[in-house]
Amino acid sequence: MKELRIPGLSYHKDVLRPIAIETKDAIYAPIHDIQGNIIKLVDIATREVTSLALPDPFGRGLSKESPTSWIFSGKYYDRELDLVYFGRRYYSPQLKKWLSPDPAFQTLDPYQYCLNKPLSYFDPDGQFAIVIPLIWAGGLTLADLLLDGAVIAGVGWATHEAVKKANDWSDKRDRMQRNKRGSVDPTLPKDPFNDPGLEDISHPRARQRGHYQFKDRKTGEILQYDKGRSGAPGHEGHDHYHRPNPNSTGDKDKYLDGQGEPVSKGSDASHLYPAN
């Protein structure tokens, strides 16, 4: 056995935030920062604390002496290659770039890591950057409780209700982030299905999957509307609009943001929300 990680609470199904890591030498409780990086390891048997080298937000300066390799954003750090494997893409901390292009075209630079804001966003598998939920940005770590004498097997259970309640506030944080990113459009109706100014021109099969198209009866403008899926991460979990760019030349300027500026397909700003 090389390493065994025991899962704890996490902000995304593809991001493992372990409460314990078993190696051939010892069992450790990790202390994470807000990005999910391991900054300290607590030996379960001795309570001895090992501090790891602190990398910058992009991962430059990762510890090559750590007892575990899963030290950056919950992903595997290959010390020999100095690369981090996210599941779909390899990331270079030194270059602050992915080694292959972004399949979602979130930004004009397809190699950009976490929209160049790694303290605000995380990428669960190398495909799409998502806002870090509020509870984890608060800095609560499971190993902190262990050092206070809590039994490791009960730590995740003991904090479950606190995590659940704190995450209820993440939707409010999301709304504030949308305003900052320009993806709130006060002209959009909250309920397009009952707006007399819109005509539903959705394809029946698309409608069955929760994807709708509406046509403005006066201007002829087309709006796309996607129903949120319960439990889905990011924008997929919320009802939202897309406004197609009539002058689009491709995926890089496929949509318009809340101010009518061209934005890329898959970008945060292309997901539009009505004002609250």
Of the candidates 71, 110, 78, 107, the one whose C-alpha atom is nearest the C-alpha of residue 92 is 78
Q: State residue 99's pLDDT score.
A: 96
pLDDT score of 148 more than 50:
no
Q: In this predicted model, which residue has the larger pLDDT, 268 or 200?
A: 200
Q: Token pair of 177, please? A: 């982030």
Q: What is the pLDDT of residue 34?
A: 79
**pLDDT, tens digit (0-9, with 9 covering 90-100), for 97-126:** 999 998 877 778 899 999 999 988 888 888
Confidence of residue 179 (pLDDT cuts 50, 70, 90): very low
- CB within 8 A of 205, min separation 6: which ones? none
Residues facing 131 on adjacent strands: 121
Q: Per-residue pLDDT tens for 125-143?
A: 888 888 876 544 444 444 4
Mean pLDDT of the chain: 81
How far apart CA 40 and CA 33 sit, in angstroms, is: 9
Query: Three-state SS for 132?
Result: coil
Q: Which two tokens stand for residue 19?
A: 């409460």
Q: What is the mean pLDDT of residues 149-178?
A: 43
